[in-house]
């Protein structure tokens, strides 16, 4: 019988790739505390730090067969947590900007019909710009934002790599933001 606590990270990863739950548990027990502390120090929120670590390990298990480490396991896990922390922080900033913008609009709004007219005009302009995107970028963007498909689902549906899907979505967002500004575009996305 293998004593998992004595195995190297490299050996644990090999067992993990084969679906060994005990190896996964050992990796979890070995790194969860350090990763949580790192996440908490950056986020200053216990629930968010717990969520980041939980999502990382859930992803590690579901993607175990395709796991390819360019570095040590500890470096991979640290980088993965760091990326998730950045996602949480940037999501908070976008959410905060949207709320501030919305509150400002409510505080200074004119008649509701005027708002609806402006919103419809903005929506029409954005739809026009979306239509002007290159065909594949437009298709990917609409599946992402209107059909609410994940990058993985889009990649599977269109037979593209997830990286290609991500690039199409990011490029479409850059184009649209440059034409309409961030706040206007966020308000549009909030309705779709």
pLDDT digits (tens, 9 = 90+) for 145-187: 888 889 899 999 999 999 999 999 888 878 877 776 655 555 5
State the DSSP H helix or E strand holding residue 43, giving kind and residue range, or none if neither.
Answer: helix 21-43
State which residues form the domain around 177.
110-191
- Look at the chain and report how many structural domains it folds into: 2
Is residue 104 a part of any domain in this protein? Answer: no
Residue 96's pLDDT band (boundaries 50, 70, 90)? confident
Enumerate residues 6+ apart whose C-beta is below 8 A from 27: 9, 12, 13, 16, 60, 73
For 78, the token pair is 């640290």
Is residue 93 a part of any domain in this protein? Answer: no
| Chain centroid to CA 98 | 18
Question: What does pTM read for this prediction?
Answer: 0.51
């Amino acid at each position: 019988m293998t004593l998992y606590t004595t195995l190297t990270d490299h050996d644990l990863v090999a067992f993990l790739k084969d679906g060994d739950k005990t190896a996964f548990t050992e990796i979890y027990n070995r790194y969860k505390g350090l990763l949580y502390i790192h996440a908490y120090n950056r986020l200053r929120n216990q629930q968010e730090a717990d969520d980041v670590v939980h999502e990382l390990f859930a992803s590690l298990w579901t993607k175990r067969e395709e796991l390819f480490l360019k570095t040590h396991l500890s470096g991979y896990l640290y980088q993965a947590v760091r990326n998730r922390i950045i996602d949480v922080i940037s999501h908070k900033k976008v959410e905060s900007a949207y709320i501030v913008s919305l509150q400002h609009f409510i505080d200074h709004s004119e008649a509701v019909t005027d708002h609806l007219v402006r919103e419809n005009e903005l929506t029409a302009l954005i739809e026009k710009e979306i239509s002007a995107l290159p065909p594949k970028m437009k298709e990917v963007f609409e599946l992402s934002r209107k059909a609410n498909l994940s990058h993985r689902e889009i990649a599977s549906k269109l037979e593209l790599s997830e990286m290609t899907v991500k690039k199409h979505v990011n490029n479409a967002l850059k184009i649209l933001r440059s034409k309409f500004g961030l706040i206007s575009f966020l308000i549009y996305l909030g309705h779709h």
